[in-house]
Amino acid sequence: MPQPLSKVIVHNIFSTKNREPWLDSAIWLRMHAYLSTICRDLGGEALRVADHVHIVTTLPRTLSQAELIEEIKKPASKWIKALEARYRLFLAARVCCLFGRPGQLETLLQYVQGQEERHRTHTFQDEFHGPITVLGRCSRLP
CB 16 within 8 A of CB 81: no
Average pLDDT over residues 124-136: 56
CATH number at 8-141 = 3.30.70.1290
Q: Which runs of consecutive H residues, i.e. helices, occur in 23-118?
A: 25-42, 65-83, 105-113, 115-118
Rounded Cα distance, 63 and 67, in Å? 6
Mode of pairing for the β-strands spanning 45-49 and 52-59: antiparallel
Distance CA 105, CA 93 (A): 26
Q: From CA 69, how far away is CA 90, in angstroms rounded?
A: 14
pTM of the model: 0.67
46-76: per-residue pLDDT in tens? 666 556 777 777 778 788 888 888 888 888 8
C-alpha 117/C-alpha 127 separation (Å) is: 13
Phi, psi of 40, rounded to the nearest 5 degrees: -60, -40
- Greater pLDDT, 33 or 120: 33
Q: Is the pLDDT of residue 98 over 60?
A: yes
29: confidence class by pLDDT, cuts 50, 70, 90: confident
User: If pLDDT is split at 50, 70 and 90, which confidence band does 24 have?
Assistant: confident
C-alpha distances (whole Å) from 80 to each of 28, 68, 69, 76, 99 are 10, 19, 16, 6, 27
Q: Which of 21-25, 56-60, 103-107 has the highest mean pLDDT?
A: 56-60
- Residue ranges per domain, the chain? 8-141
